[in-house]
Amino acid sequence: MQNYKIIKLLICLLIFSSFGCASRDLVPISGNGTVYPEFKAARKTKDDVTVEVNSSPWTGSPSNLNRYITPFYLEIENNTDKALNLSYDDIVLVDANRTQFNPLKPNLVADIITTTLQGSYAYGAGYPRVSIGLGFGYYSGWSYYRRPFFGPFYTPFYAYGAYPLGYYPPYYYSPPQVGDVYTKALIPGTLNPKSKLRGYVYFQKLPKEVKQVSLDLRYKLAGEQEPQQLSFPFAVE
């Protein structure tokens, strides 16, 4: 189990180091619908079904989610008298080269964020130590103490503890709060007539070479044979 966690952490770090951690802006491009560039939103209506896609920065916790994930806020209004059905498979992100990015479910997003941040902070802060002496150490609660005595060697690095010239407080790791990743997520399924569905859909961090994407959403109304599709193009800056 421990080896599995280490491998998963290395994979996550490799993905994010390849794509970079800086947030990127996604600006809607004019199309057949209505575009609100100041709000980074686009809105389209087809046969009494209205969909609005917003790429504004994430406002939940963790506040830096945009550094690791590409979230979109969707609002779907079913103003017909038929039930509307859609699933995660019906929402995709496609770049100019037709490379497809599938949505990430909330539990995977929470796992990625938790694993990545744990990898950054789990070992605490290391303080350089230079001393001459022969010491002994012991563990007490969260802290590791070391007392110097005369001798040729002394450990140069450790997380925290007693020090001849002062005391460094223990480092405490606080797990990231990822509850909003679940509560703010869009949950696909059946949307009843005259009803509205809203929430965030998450995608992986876009590679640096991607300059334009289209969020494509398919849905099917009860009693109809063919699904409908709405596309929302965005420039990636």
Residues 6+ positions from 83 with CB-CB distance below 8 Å: 190, 191, 192, 193, 221, 222
- My answer on whether 87 and 160 are in the same domain is no
- My answer on whether 87 and 36 are in the same domain is yes
Beta bridge partners of 40: none
Q: What is the number of domains present in the chain? A: 2
Q: Residue 194 has what pLDDT?
A: 97
Alpha carbon dihedral 207, 210, 211, 214, in 10-degree steps, equals -110
What is the tens place of the pLDDT at every residue in 81-92? 999 999 999 999
- My answer on whether 102 and 60 are in the same domain is yes
- My answer on whether 87 and 195 are in the same domain is yes
- My answer on whether 51 and 164 are in the same domain is no
- My answer on whether 43 and 94 are in the same domain is yes
- My answer on whether 22 and 115 are in the same domain is yes
CATH number of the domain that 222 lies in?
2.60.40
Domain range for 164: 124-168
- My answer on whether 102 and 128 are in the same domain is no
- My answer on whether 78 and 163 are in the same domain is no
Average of per-residue pLDDT values in the chain? 78
Q: Is the pLDDT of residue 53 over 80?
A: yes
Span of 3-12, 20-29, 39-48, 93-102 with lowest mean pLDDT: 3-12
Q: Residue 145 has what pLDDT?
A: 41
Give the residue among 235, 206, 230 at the shortest CA–CA distance from 28.
235
pLDDT above 70 coverage of the chain, percent: 65
> Which tokens is 48 given?
């009494």
Backbone angles phi, psi at 26, to 5 degrees: -120, 115
> Which tokens is 61 given?
């916790």
What is the tens place of the pLDDT at every residue in 179-229? 999 999 999 999 999 999 999 999 999 999 999 999 999 999 999 999 999
- My answer on whether 13 and 84 are in the same domain is yes
Q: Give the residue from 109, 137, 168 where a domain finishes.
A: 168
- My answer on whether 43 and 95 are in the same domain is yes
- Cβ 207 vs Cβ 107: under 8 Å: no
Q: Residue 139 has what pLDDT?
A: 44
Which one is predicted more confidently, 32 or 167? 32
What is the tens place of the pLDDT at every residue in 141-172? 444 444 444 444 444 444 444 444 444 455 55
Residues 6+ positions from 42 with CB-CB distance below 8 Å: 28, 31, 33, 34, 35, 36, 52, 53, 232, 234
- My answer on whether 81 and 193 are in the same domain is yes
